[in-house]
Amino acid sequence: MLACLTEMRRILRTRAFWAAALLTVFVLWAELGSEIYWLLHGATLSYGTLLQKALTGEGNLLALPLLAALPAAAAARRELSGGAVPAILFRCGRKKYLVSRFFSVVLGALLSQTAGILLFAGVLAVFLSPEPFPAALLFARLLIAAVFALTGSIAALLTRDAVCACVVPSALCFSLSMLRERFFTEAAYLDPLCWLDGGSFLFPAALLFFLSVLFFVSLSREVRRYV
């Protein structure tokens, strides 16, 4: 719990966190498309419908993986490359370091997306009367954000390149969507856009568990290599 709170405070002070949150607001606003015109001209629209359209739009296919990885997915790779890990391990130990880096990656994605969605919901509330928030859509988005953040961090560790923390999740997300659309049309579980609608959490939850294990294995191996 202490590691979680410490990482949360640290993440909230970073520029990458607020950049990801504000970019999330921009992406969600852009997903409204032509509805923006009617919204700005006082048309009566459904708050819940607009929120759902923004959270499940196709633009999230490339934006969400990048925004989820932006706050903290490359942190462990940078610490390893910069030589800071031996000093950190001397102070806190290997186990605490691994746990704190895991919390950093996941919390960075969850907190930035939550902040962005709440800010976007507040913007919509300026124009329309708020309605009950679609909890399933929010949970689905946060679950998927955690999946992509861990994917990026693992990619950065395996390739030993911090840039891959943002590039690989976006490429993987787009590739899965194309595979489903062109070759496996019946396999809806392959398409990240289908995960966003909150219809089923089983596949992304299983993927999150697998990636969590792989993250600890990958980071442990890299720590042993550098220390």
pLDDT the model gives residue 44:
75
Residue 25, C-beta contacts closer than 8 angstroms, at least 6 positions apart? 116, 119, 120, 123
Residue 49, C-beta contacts closer than 8 angstroms, at least 6 positions apart? none
Residue indicated by tokens 């220390």: 227
Average pLDDT of the residues of the chain: 83
Please give the DSSP secondary-structure letter assigned to residue 134: -
Residue indicated by tokens 């998927």: 144
- Other beta carbons within 10 angstroms of residue 227's beta carbon come to 13
d(CA 117, CA 112): 9
Which structure tokens are listed for 225? Answer: 């290599």
Model confidence over 116-132: pLDDT tens digits? 999 998 888 888 887 77
| Numbers of helices and strands, H then E, in the chain | 12, 0
Q: What is the pTM of this model?
A: 0.88
Q: Minimum mean pLDDT among 37-41, 47-51, 87-91: which range?
A: 87-91
Which structure tokens are listed for 162? Answer: 């911090």
> 116 burial class (0-12, 13-18, 19+ CB within 10 angstroms)?
buried
Model confidence over 55-92: pLDDT tens digits? 888 888 888 899 999 888 888 788 777 776 677 676 77
Residue 134, C-beta contacts closer than 8 angstroms, at least 6 positions apart? 48, 51, 52, 55, 198
Say if residue 30's pLDDT is above 80. Answer: yes
